Structure 1
Amino acid sequence: MNANAIDKAANDINNTAQDVRKDAHNAVDKVADKAQPVVNKVATSLHNGVDQVGEKISAVSDSVSSASEKLMERGKEWSAAAQRASETGRTYVRERPATSLLVALAAGYGLSKLLGARK
């Protein structure tokens, strides 16, 4: 083989390599251009999903907080009612000790009959 043939073959290979490289870059660019809208759409959907989950968690947190506040308020009301009932009972016993003793004896007797009948 002579030097011209080798140079020509090398030049042809180099040109072919350049053409293949150019075609590969064009193919990658086309795929990237077509994939970008899909990637953007998926990213947008994921962001929306995360936002919705965050909103749901926030709503649940608010509901739990509200329920907790209501329970605490009810507990305070029940505590106050029990304290009032206790004070009313003490006042009744102080004002009517004989009647209170008879009621307590009757209640005790009734409970012993109820509980004794179960044996």
Structure 2
Amino acid sequence: MEKIDKAANSANEAVDNVASAANQTAEALSEKGEQLKNAEQQMMEECRVYVRDNPITSLGIAVAAGFLLSRVLSGR
């Protein structure tokens, strides 16, 4: 009976350790996700400002990118 109790205690400790590690990992991923979301919002705002300040250049970049993308996707 003592061996069974020791095995059960060891199993419980292992499960607790795995649960703790999983919780820490989930928290770290959540934090990184929040950082990525903030970085995306900042980049989008910077793009909006650039387009607002440089509409002709932005249009030229969009046309060039569209042309290059169509060439790549058409298989030529």
**Is the TM-score greater than 0.5?**
yes
2:58 paired with 1:114: no
Could you list the runs of 4 or more consecutive aligned residues of structure 1 that deviate by over 4 angstroms after TM superposition? none
Q: How does 1:92-103 map to 2 (within 5 A)?
A: 92-103=50-61
Aligned residues: 76
* Greater relative contact order (Cα < 8 A, sep 6+): 2
Kindly provide the amino acid, as one letter, of the partner of residue 95 in structure 1. D
In 2, distance between residues paired with 1:48 and 1:97?
Answer: 72
Over the matched positions of the two proteins, sequence identity in percent amounts to 33
2:23 to 52, 62, 65: 65
Other-structure match for 1:8: none
2:4 paired with 1:49: no
In 1, distance between residues paired with 2:45 and 2:18?
Answer: 40
Kindly provide the amino acid, as one letter, of the partner of residue 33 in structure 2. G
Kindly provide the amino acid, as one letter, of the partner of residue 42 in structure 2. R
In 2, distance between residues paired with 1:104 and 1:44?
Answer: 74
In 2, distance between residues paired with 1:81 and 1:116?
Answer: 33
Structure-2-length-normalised TM-score? 0.97
What stretches of structure 1 of length at least 5 have no aligned partner?
1-42
In 1, distance between residues paired with 2:47 and 2:25?
Answer: 32
2:41 to 83, 93, 103: 83
In 2, distance between residues paired with 1:111 and 1:75?
Answer: 30
Other-structure match for 2:63: 105
Kindly provide the amino acid, as one letter, of the partner of residue 116 in structure 1. S
In 1, distance between residues paired with 2:65 and 2:39?
Answer: 23
User: How large is the RMSD of aligned CA atoms in angstroms?
Assistant: 0.9
The CA deviation at 1:117 is 1.2
